[in-house]
Structure 1
Amino acid sequence: MNQIAQCRSWLSRDVERDTSWVRFLSDAAIEDIDSALQHAKSTSKPLLSLTPNDFPLAQAGLEEIQAAYASTQQGWGFCLLKGFPVERYSVDEIKTLYWGIGLHVGVARTQNKNSDIMTSVKDTGGQYKVNGGRGYNTNAGLDFHVDFCDVVSLLCIHPAKSGGTSLITSSLAIYEELKRTRPDLEAALQKPFYFSLQGAGANDEPNIYPCPLYGESQGYPAFRTNRKNITAAQEYFDDVPRLEDDQIEVLDWLDEMLKEPRFCFSMNIEKGDIQLLNNYTVVHSRTDFEDYEEEFRKRHLLRLWMTIPGSQPLPDTWRMAFKDIRAGAVRGGNRGKGITDDFLAYERRQANYHHMHNIFSG
């Protein structure tokens, strides 16, 4: 796979004109997924004990799911896969379905201090810009950021009454724009920025990590930002080096450019859609939203953080953040405080199944 040749920078007008990033599940794939779900339910296994053989996808379902994930590693770097018949199923069945298809593409990462393997993106009254705050349990608009994995996957069960629009920007295009218009700031991107883990680190690791915003490995570019977590590291960790003037300036520049309409594309995620984003070439956000009053109609998405066998190598300067920077390695995630033996067994089993490097669980 040649990431430089295949993964392209884009402007918002490009993805408006060419909608090849939208994929539709075929009827055959939908039936394959339903059949696999029924088989998985018959095993009565919890999610972490399920294997790909427990969720046996036939050819159409397997090929369409794997092709969608593979598309994030080339071309636009993102995909919207439409047509999951979520109205057929209970929320628990949807979770099993969603987890089951993930078994066929890679290894899920834990996402928070509780070491959750799947999170509900739903307003439960959380606060965003506070110490330890996360965006997924609020109705707030979010800073542009990337998640701690190769591919972030969002499955929409219910959209909001209004708002909650997904915003995505090509980090490759932003980097090109910075080199063209602000070459004086290019070096600042490659200085270490300290990020807070917002309390989601493992018990034996610090709750901060250094990581430049941009780097390359073997010709593969990678970009990373989350200003809220950078600010939190500055505010709550006295031993973190203070940001230099050019680092603050480049963060301010990014705040403006990432949302600039020329670069930023707005996408509505509808019921039954799965959005897949490459976290090294696409930065994302969302607008704030208003919910319905009825609990069963409230905005509800399910999120998986996936590491996949077709992933690119990462810069050596990202090693402290991701632990393993080799292409196709199990990496990233917020390890959290709740890692179990069942998760370690799942992680090891999935890594072996997909022939992925795995330094976490042997």
Structure 2
Amino acid sequence: MKDTQPAAPLAWTAEEVRQDSSWIQRLSETEVDGFRSALRHAAALGKPLLSMTQADFPLPAASREALDRAVATTQGRWGMCLLKGFPVDEWSEDETRTAYWGMSLHMGVGRTQNRASQVMNDVRDEGGDYKVKGGRGYNTSAGLDFHQDSCDVVGLLCRRTAKSGGTSKVISSIRLRDEVQRLRPDLIPVLQQPFFHSYQGTQDPSQPPFYRCPIFGSDPVHFAARTNRKNTDAAQRDFPEVPRLTPQQVEALDLLDELMPSPLLCYSMTLERGDLQLLNNYVTLHSRTPFEDFEAPDDKRHLLRLWLAIPSSQPLPAAFEEYYGDVRAGAVRGGVRGSAITSEFLAYEQRQAQALNMRLEPWRPKRLAADALA
């Protein structure tokens, strides 16, 4: 993949996004045919996903460049891209997994996403509970708090839509910061302080069950944000040893909760079959409305999620290192370690980092459980 360096992300409002559709891209028939042919090749090989290389999913130049453009768009003006037209109606569930994973080999390095250390998650209602200890949103039908995922770029490939609901909502975290600056400039330094957040059980066994990270980064050039009120509240609820939120911190979080869903900031989009939504997690936040599903299992809402570290990523503030592991631009970072990392994943990670010329340092916890509050 080309190491494209587009113009830096900028603040935006919902209305500005509605007026400019340059972040929406549609695959041409030639590009779609390239994904079809690459899938036929990969399916004939029958390799496990973690054993695949770019050569096992050989994309013609036009299809590869479509992915390059999409990833570059996430690092530019809007911090997001909607790439439309993947032929998921032609593919079985397994074929869609193989195709999506094959695409990812040309975009970045996949990151593990849960306590089972899985690299691809099914976003569908499996009866999970969202706002409970250890709860995650992807396996429920619940509406979600605004949050960022734990990677440079999160990709959602839509296989099937819900009977109703499940609308995707996105905001600019840069514009969110600007609104806080306009309304309550005294809370900006508060949001740049470390907050404690729960890992929701997704940490490596050597790590504490919580981590420290500011809501807003303080780098004047490369803005980054990280927030998920549910996980901040969970740290307060589940870990009495964690320092209590100060009144100012609570006030700042309450202000964010008020601003994020506002008509000024919040842009809503409905993902259709064959859509691939890509979001830059440092400059956007996202959520989802609750949804009602179909009864038949083969009709139920289903998206596939990848967390990617990408070659063109920005540097992160030093205060983000405890969570992301590596704050250097273009480094392999992010994800949640979980407790089931395999030798196959480690081999894939190293091979894929080399293929994309990305920095990769051997993983180690930035904070051990024994030193949780040191």
TM category, shorter: over 0.9
Residue of structure 1 in register with 2:326 after alignment: 324
Residue of structure 2 in register with 1:81 after alignment: 83
State the distance in 2 between where 1:29 and 1:64 align.
Answer: 7
Q: Which residue, 302, 309, 317 being the options, matches 1:300?
A: 302
Does structure 2 conserve the Cα–Cα contact (< 8 Å) formed by 1:167 and 1:264? Answer: yes
Q: Deviations over 1:46-93 (max 9, x none)?
A: 000000011011101000011101110011000110000101010000
Residue of structure 1 in register with 2:372 after alignment: none
- Residue 361 of structure 1 and its aligned partner are, at CA, apart by 5.8
State the distance in 2 between where 1:20 and 1:60 align.
Answer: 19
Q: Which residue, 347, 363, 370 being the options, matches 1:345?
A: 347
Question: How is 1:268-307 mapped onto 2 (pairs within 5 angstroms)?
Answer: 268-307=270-309
Residue of structure 1 in register with 2:176 after alignment: 174
In 2 relative to 1, CA 217–360 (structure 1 residues): closer, same or farther, beyond 3 Å?
farther
Q: How many residues align?
A: 361
State the distance in 2 between where 1:225 and 1:237 align.
Answer: 18
Secondary structure, counterpart of 2:145 in structure 1? coil
- Residue 95 of structure 1 and its aligned partner are, at CA, apart by 0.2
Q: Deviations over 1:245-300 (max 9, x none)?
A: 11111100000100001110000000000000000000000000000111111000
Q: Which residue, 98, 112, 118 being the options, matches 2:100?
A: 98
Residue of structure 2 in register with 1:240 after alignment: 242
Does structure 2 conserve the Cα–Cα contact (< 8 Å) formed by 1:217 and 1:313? Answer: no
| Amino acid corresponding to residue 89 of structure 1 in structure 2 | W
Q: Which residue, 193, 196, 212 being the options, matches 1:194?
A: 196
Identical pairs, percent: 53
State the distance in 1 between where 2:246 and 2:350 align.
Answer: 41
| Amino acid corresponding to residue 284 of structure 1 in structure 2 | H
Q: TM-score, normalised by structure 1?
A: 0.98
Q: TM-score, normalised by structure 2?
A: 0.95
Residue of structure 1 in register with 2:230 after alignment: 228
Q: Deviations over 1:274-332 (max 9, x none)?
A: 00000000000000000011111100000000010000000001111111000000111
Secondary structure, counterpart of 1:144 in structure 2? strand
Does structure 2 conserve the Cα–Cα contact (< 8 Å) formed by 1:153 and 1:274? Answer: yes
| Amino acid corresponding to residue 134 of structure 1 in structure 2 | R
| Amino acid corresponding to residue 24 of structure 2 in structure 1 | V
Q: Deviations over 1:168-207 (max 9, x none)?
A: 0100001011111110111111111111111010111112
State the distance in 1 between where 2:362 and 2:277 align.
Answer: 27
Residue of structure 1 in register with 2:369 after alignment: none
- Residue 218 of structure 1 and its aligned partner are, at CA, apart by 6.7
In 2 relative to 1, CA 352–216 (structure 1 residues): closer, same or farther, beyond 3 Å?
farther
Q: Which residue, 56, 59, 74 being the options, matches 1:57?
A: 59
Q: Which residue, 128, 136, 139 being the options, matches 2:138?
A: 136
Residue of structure 1 in register with 2:359 after alignment: 357
Residue of structure 1 in register with 2:109 after alignment: 107
Structure 1: give runs of 5+ residues left out of the alignment.
Answer: none
- Name which of structure 1's ranges 127-136 and 235-244 shifts more when overlaid on structure 2: 235-244
State the distance in 1 between where 2:125 and 2:5 align.
Answer: 40
| Amino acid corresponding to residue 154 of structure 2 in structure 1 | V
Q: Deviations over 1:139-193 (max 9, x none)?
A: 0000000000000000000010000000001000010111111101111111111
State the distance in 2 between where 1:237 and 1:273 align.
Answer: 40
| Amino acid corresponding to residue 12 of structure 1 in structure 2 | A
Question: How is 1:198-209 mapped onto 2 (pairs within 5 angstroms)?
Answer: 198-209=200-211
State the distance in 2 between where 1:10 and 1:38 align.
Answer: 41
Secondary structure, counterpart of 1:283 in structure 2? strand
Secondary structure, counterpart of 1:224 in structure 2? coil
Does structure 2 conserve the Cα–Cα contact (< 8 Å) formed by 1:344 and 1:361? Answer: no
| Amino acid corresponding to residue 11 of structure 2 in structure 1 | S
In 2 relative to 1, CA 129–74 (structure 1 residues): closer, same or farther, beyond 3 Å?
same
| Amino acid corresponding to residue 173 of structure 1 in structure 2 | R
Structure 2: give runs of 5+ residues left out of the alignment.
Answer: 365-374
Residue of structure 2 in register with 1:266 after alignment: 268
| Amino acid corresponding to residue 28 of structure 2 in structure 1 | S
Secondary structure, counterpart of 1:167 in structure 2? strand
Does structure 2 conserve the Cα–Cα contact (< 8 Å) formed by 1:217 and 1:316? Answer: no
- Residue 238 of structure 1 and its aligned partner are, at CA, apart by 1.6
Q: Which residue, 204, 219, 222 being the options, matches 2:221?
A: 219
4+ long deviations beyond 2 Å: none
- Residue 360 of structure 1 and its aligned partner are, at CA, apart by 3.1
Q: Deviations over 1:77-113 (max 9, x none)?
A: 0011000010101000000000000000110000000
State the distance in 1 between where 2:225 and 2:8 align.
Answer: 17
Q: Which residue, 311, 315, 318 being the options, matches 2:317?
A: 315
Kindly indicate whether residue 257 of structure 2 is the aligned counterpart of residue 255 of structure 1: yes
Does structure 1 conserve the Cα–Cα contact (< 8 Å) formed by 2:5 and 2:312? Answer: no
State the distance in 2 between where 1:206 and 1:345 align.
Answer: 26
- Residue 41 of structure 1 and its aligned partner are, at CA, apart by 1.1
Secondary structure, counterpart of 2:146 in structure 1? coil
